[in-house]
Chain A
Amino acid sequence: MTKDWPLWEVFIRGQYGLSHRHVGSLHAPDAEMAMLNARDVYTRRNEGMSIWVVPSADISASAPSRKGPMFDPSNDKTYRHPTFFDIPDEVGSM
């Protein structure tokens, strides 16, 4: 009978100032080992400058059935995007 170590989600911030990004998951007995394992598993090719590890069980995710109410309302707010506005070329960059 085999029992897994807990599952962790791994987030890594790369070199160019972008936000932490989810890269995958792994098993580890505790947070400290999860951090070391994440370093060994997910930064083998110089991908990382900072690591977050989070117990998978602690992540709250949006429900797929709520996709419509959650995300459709932002579809028609095109005025939030810069290309919504026509600015004459003479004005220069903005």
Chain B
Amino acid sequence: MYEFLLRMGDNTLVLGHRVSEWCGHSPVLEEDIALANISLDLIGQTRLWLGLAGEVEGQGRDADALAYRRDAWDFRNLLIVERPNRDYGHTLMRQFLFDLWHHERLADICLSEDDRVLGIAAKCVKEASYHLERSTDLIVRLGGGTAESHSRMQTAVEALWPYVGEMFTDDALDIEMDKAGIAPLPSNQRPRFDEALNITLSRASLTRPAGDFAQKGGRSGVHTEDLGHMLATMQFLPRAYPDARW
């Protein structure tokens, strides 16, 4: 259960951080504001998931201790959320692919037999639903916009494609969570994800990348090089001044 909660909370922690990196640097003021809302939602969700993880662990660690005092190998997020922002199209495509998965995942977890898990999922699913609406609208528009916006979005989906498969792989922990009635198997979502993805890509005149090779490892603590750099920045103050209270 603890590991499951880390998987949920680390996804939102890492993606919320990546999105916050755009603050003040996005293409237009309206986007700065919208991105900040997404990041704020994700940070809020992180506090819920990691807060519960700390409780379940029972070692006296709260959400901040888990976010700021673990090293990369203890992180359980999907690789896709730690991928760097690159251009705005890459950021939006990453957001869209994550939102599509996240929304379905949370909807599934709303069937959890654990009231605490269900409570968090029920709150988060509404936020995820809005995120998905927004990212879908943008993908469709940019795919069908100018030749340049189309080509940037096609490049982005191809670059991120190898990180999609990991979202739907079941491992021993997933099977355990499913049996315990806490969360259904991630693989259950794949058909729904594919259907929605195909619809949006087609509306956006984008081509679904071929192949199904999947980079894996995030959910068991084997990350890309990028996560370590992100944590070096994010965790600097609590690590450099371990006795300080902020």
Contacts and interface: CB of A to CB of B under 8 A. Distances in A.
Contact of B137 (A26, A33, A40, A44): A33
Contacts of B137: 32-33, 36
Instruction: State which size class the interface on B falls in.
Output: 10 to 19
Q: B-side binding surface: helix, strand, loop or mixed?
A: helix
Given A29-B141, A32-B137, A33-B137, A40 B33 contact: yes
A41 interface: yes
Nearest to A27: B30
Contacts of A39: 130
Given A32-B137, A36-B134, A36-B137, A41 B33 contact: yes
A41 B134 CA distance: 14
Interface in B91-144: 130, 133-134, 137, 141
B96 to A, nearest CB: 14
Interface string A1-44: 00001000000000000000000001111001100110111001
Interface residues of A, number: 13
Nearest to A38: B30
A28 B37 contact: no
A29 B37 CA distance: 20
Contacts of B134: 36
A76 B128 CA distance: 55
A54 B185 CA distance: 45
Nearest to B145: A29
Interface in A80-94: none
B159 interface: no
Contacts of A44: 33, 37
Interface in A41-70: 41, 44
B37 A40 contact: yes
A34 to B, nearest CB: 9
A26 B30 contact: yes
A93 B200 CA distance: 61
B34 interface: yes
A24 B34 CA distance: 16
Contacts of B141: 29, 33
Nearest to A26: B30
A39 B28 CA distance: 16
17 contacts: A26-B30, A27-B28, A27-B30, A28-B30, A29-B141, A32-B137, A33-B137, A33-B141, A36-B133, A36-B134, A36-B137, A37-B33, A40-B30, A40-B33, A40-B37, A44-B33, A44-B37
Given A33-B137, A36-B34, 6 more contacts: A5-B28, A26-B30, A36-B134, A36-B137, A40-B37, A44-B37
Q: Which 5 A-B pairs have the closest CB atoms?
A: A40-B34, A37-B30, A40-B33, A40-B37, A41-B33
Interface of A: 5, 26-29, 32-33, 36-37, 39-41, 44
